[in-house]
Structure 1
Amino acid sequence: MALQVKTRRIGEIALTGSGIGITLSIDQFKRLRGRRQVPCYLVIVLVPRDPADYISVGVPELTLKHSAYWVSLEDRPLPIQQGQKSVTVTVPRENLLTVDVLHEFFHRACEEVPAP
């Protein structure tokens, strides 16, 4: 499994009715789309402006607060407009990244890797 993680400050992103809009370069988009041997996901972590509001470090733990959302671009078509340098992707708000979702990602990745 591969994750491309992007962090964005709350208030500096485009929230749409269906999700969170994030702009990717065409090269970034190409690296995330299409079927691969290992599933690949785009993850958006939304954080407050002040890191003290979402991260704390201590012994023996690192605690991160706030939310992360994911999307697979596996089936997305490549934008074909001449000269287009970027594309905006909507990450659905219902795609909250949870421990259960990560387990599903690992399970899917294990199923798709061929046995030696």
Structure 2
Amino acid sequence: MADSRTGGVPRQAPAGAHGAPQGSAPPPQWAGQVEGFGDNGHRGHFGEQFIRMLAVAANIDASQRDRDRVGVDWQLGHPGQPGRRRYPVIEAQVKCTSSPEMYDDHLAYDLKVKYYNQLAGSDYSVPRFLFVVLAPSDPFTWSHATSDRLLLRNAAYWVCLHDRDLADGSGNGKGTRRVHVPRANLLTVDSLHGLFSQQYQDMVGSS
């Protein structure tokens, strides 16, 4: 059974000034001087930048929305190849959590109906996805930098809701809708490119 505080996310030792775990060492002095360190806004921003880093590694352009009114955080695209569909684009809504409900084959995430309805259905110009980033509850362990690598913890998963009906038949319902995100849908450089495939274009009005 997953730990209720971490949702199965491995516990990490607090990190020192360079992001390296240091057992039970006290947090660095700067931590108390940075307003909002580790709060929900900080966690959400970490999740969005986690996706940006994956996109950069995949050589995919990531453009952030200026205004939060259309239900997506990132528009992702790349040039494509001559002789095939050029300049393909997808969009993603990003959520970051430190307390997911983890099961053998999926994780459960309660998404506000407003946001659910901005992803469900097929009445869109481009495919949309939900990206759920899992981060440790301790913000000092979100990253670990050494001279030869930068490690970001822990992982991101994706799900497509274009085959689902709206939660209440409108765009602004109240409450939440539970989304089951397959654990097989680990977001990687390869799987991120896979989201540009024709099967997702065929699910929306862009086909």
| TM-score, normalised by the number of residues in structure 2 | 0.45
Matches within 5 A, 1:43-82: 43-56=131-144, 63-80=151-168
Match of 1:26 in 2: 113
Q: Cα offset for 1:54?
A: 2.4
SS at match of 2:158: strand
Cα distance between partner residues in 2 of 1:45 and 1:76: 22
Match of 2:31 in 1: none
Query: Which structure is higher in RCO with an 8 Å CA cutoff and minimum separation 6?
Result: 1
Q: Percent identity?
A: 35
Q: Decide whether the 8 Å contact of 2:112 with 2:174 is kept in 1.
A: no
Q: How many residues align?
A: 109
Spell out, residue by residue over 1:8-39, the C-alpha distance to the aligned partner (whole angstroms, 9 max, x if none): 11xx2222343111111111011011122211
| Alignment partner of 1:37 is 2:125 | yes
SS at match of 2:184: coil
| Alignment partner of 1:94 is 2:175 | no
| TM-score, normalised by the number of residues in structure 1 | 0.76
Spell out, residue by residue over 1:27-53, the C-alpha distance to the aligned partner (whole angstroms, 9 max, x if none): 101101112221111011111112232
Cα distance between partner residues in 2 of 1:16 and 1:80: 27
Spell out, residue by residue over 1:69-115, the C-alpha distance to the aligned partner (whole angstroms, 9 max, x if none): 1100110122349x862111110111111111111223449x6796x
Q: Output the amino acid matched with 2:103.
A: T
SS at match of 1:73: coil
Bigger radius of gyration among the two = 2
Cα distance between partner residues in 2 of 1:16 and 1:63: 25
Q: Which has the higher strand share?
A: 1
RMSD over aligned Cα atoms: 2.9
Cα distance between partner residues in 2 of 1:107 and 1:100: 12
Provide structure 1 residue ranges, at least 5 long, that are not aligned to the other structure. none
Q: Decide whether the 8 Å contact of 2:107 with 2:180 is kept in 1.
A: yes
